[in-house]
Structure 1
Amino acid sequence: MLPYATIEEAEAAVGRGLTLAETLWFRYSASKSDYFLYCHNVLFLFLVFNLVPIPLAFAELTRSLGLDQYKIQPKVRLSLAEMRKCYKDVNRVFFLVVGPLQLVSYPSIKIIGIRTGLPLPSRWEILSQLVVYFLVEDYTNYWIHRFLHSKWGYEKIHSVHHEFTAPVGYTAPYAHWAEVLILGIPSFLGPALAPGHMVTFWLWIALRQIEAIETHSGYDLPWSPTKYIPFYGGAEYHDYHHYVGGQSQSNFASVFTYCDFIYGTDKGYQYHKKVLGKLKGMNGGTGTGLNRGKYDCPSDEVKSD
């Protein structure tokens, strides 16, 4: 709740006139508690998960929208029943684990110093903090992901997420409830190290979920803006990890590729791309597409890691 009764008091405290964004923020948040504002995360997560994957889920089920040429594993299609089960399971975990966790974790937000007042952060501040959050989350997630591919971690927890060898957007948060809890830690570390405004925190939570959906989309879309982000993995990169499955010791990164490069856990992926590149050349450039996906191999090849 803002400690100002009027816009004039807010402007006096800030020492200048409020921007349009700050005026809107004042009118919306002035009479609302910080806890109420923090709980917006539950709504944002729910809306992002339910709405963002719809276009590609529709394309997956109907083979329409002209996107078949970008399908990474075109021979593998989820049925409506499989997608419905995935959707129901994820929402069950959301309402039983993610939502309640958000509701009770507010004290940690106050401890690290996420603020709700004025002035609002500048675009540069928001951007720089988001970069920090993504880098911290990516590095921490990398090591947790490697642990989850140990024999114990995979058998007891992570195998649930790998039930889908050709993921689609709705499978991004499909995981064992324990994995959902564990992977919440990397998402929190960035804001804990560089606390900012609640608006930045909202944006971070939404963007991280959108990124996960894009990475699990199953489509390597050429117009995706992520194509222009240095060291960004994307759908093709992570799809290989699901394609190989439980035996995979490659492509652990959640967002970027630098950890896999530094620690040598992208060798299977690079080898595979090299082999498929040679096959594509031998077949006159027809190694990918509707009849053959980017990871489809002849029967005498193996999913080398």
Structure 2
Amino acid sequence: MLPYHTLQEAQVALGRELSLAETLWFKYSANKSDFVLHCHNTLFLCLFYSIFSIPLVLIELSGYEKLNKHKIQPRVKRSFTEMFKCYKDVMQTFVIAVSPLQIISYPTIKWIGIRTDLSLPSVWEFFWQILVYFVIEDFSHYWMHRMLHCKWAYEKIHKVHHEYTTPIGLSAPYAHWAEIIILGIPSFLGPALVPGHITIYWLWFILRQLEAVENHSGYDFPWSPTKYIPFYGGPAYHDYHHYVGGKSQSNFALVFTYCDYIYRTHKVTFVILND
């Protein structure tokens, strides 16, 4: 919680006028505890998971040829009932796994130094910290994901996520509760090693959600901005991993593909399903 009761008090303490962004941040966060601000993360995960998935659901249900020609596995069609069941299962997992994890992690977040003060980060600070978070998670997630493809871990945990051999955006967080916790570790590792403002922390998890939904979308749109990101895997790359399923020992990358190249687990994306 901010140690100021009024805008004037904050300006006097800082010795300057507040920017528009700082003023808005003050009005929003001044009466909220750090714990409440931290718990926003669960709300954002649920909200943006839902928002990012809606266009993909509508495309799938519309059958619009100009859009569906970009579907990676066009022979598989999902009904509204199937997609709603996936959504319901994911939201249930958020309640039983993600929410408790967020609450339990609060003391750690305070200890590592995620701040909530009025000194908001610059655009450059947002950019480089988010980039560092992606790189850190990408490397650690690669090994966690690869571990989940060991026989025992796959059969007991990771197999749930691979029930979708033809992934859809809604299935991005569809997984065993234990996998949510295991793969949550790499997500927290970046902020733990390079702590910043809580707004960066929020944006990081929102972007991760967006990336996960896109990678599981089942559509390889040529106009996607991610097409222009170096070493970005993308939906077709990850779709192959799901298509092979339990036998897959390749394409473990979360975002960037460099680990797959370095450790020789890279496979070219497939095209046979578009025949």
**Common fold, TM-score beyond 0.5?**
yes
**Could you say which residue in structure 2 is the equivalent of 1:187?**
187
Q: Distance in 1 between matches of 2:65 and 2:208?
A: 26
1:1-305 aligned within 5 A: 1-64=1-64, 66-266=66-266, 269-270=267-268, 294-296=271-273
Assess if the C-alpha contact under 8 Å between 1:14 and 1:118 holds in 2: no
Q: Alignment identity in percent? A: 63
Shift, 1:79, TM fit: 2.5
Q: Output one character per residue of 1:191-213: Cα deviation in whole Å (capped at 9) or x when no partner.
A: 00000001000101111011100
Letter matched to residue 25 of structure 1: W
Q: Distance in 1 between matches of 2:66 and 2:103?
A: 41
Structure 1 consecutive aligned stretches of length 4 or more whose deviation exceeds 4 Å: none
Letter matched to residue 134 of structure 2: F
Shift, 1:36, TM fit: 1.0
- Using a 3 Å threshold, how does the CA distance of structure 1 residues 65 and 97 change in structure 2: closer, same or farther? farther
Shift, 1:50, TM fit: 1.5
Q: Distance in 2 between matches of 1:59 and 1:297?
A: 17
Shift, 1:184, TM fit: 0.6
- Using a 3 Å threshold, how does the CA distance of structure 1 residues 68 and 10 change in structure 2: closer, same or farther? same
Assess if the C-alpha contact under 8 Å between 2:59 and 2:67 holds in 1: yes
TM-score scaled by length of structure 2? 0.96
Gaps of 5+ in 1: 274-293, 299-305
Gaps of 5+ in 2: none
Q: Distance in 2 between matches of 1:187 and 1:295?
A: 33
Letter matched to residue 208 of structure 2: R
Assess if the C-alpha contact under 8 Å between 1:93 and 1:177 holds in 2: yes
Letter matched to residue 115 of structure 2: R
TM-score scaled by length of structure 1? 0.87
Letter matched to residue 273 of structure 2: D
Shift, 1:16, TM fit: 2.5
Letter matched to residue 208 of structure 1: R
Q: Distance in 1 between matches of 2:64 and 2:184?
A: 35
Instruction: Look up the SS of the partner of 1:70 in the other structure.
Output: coil
Shift, 1:65, TM fit: 7.1
Q: Distance in 1 between matches of 2:255 and 2:107?
A: 28
Q: Output one character per residue of 1:57-108: Cα deviation in whole Å (capped at 9) or x when no partner.
A: 1211231273111101101122233222211111111111112221232111
Instruction: Look up the SS of the partner of 1:66 in the other structure.
Output: helix
Q: Distance in 1 between matches of 2:259 and 2:2?
A: 42
Q: Distance in 2 between matches of 1:148 and 1:295?
A: 27
Larger gyration radius, structure 1 or structure 2: 1
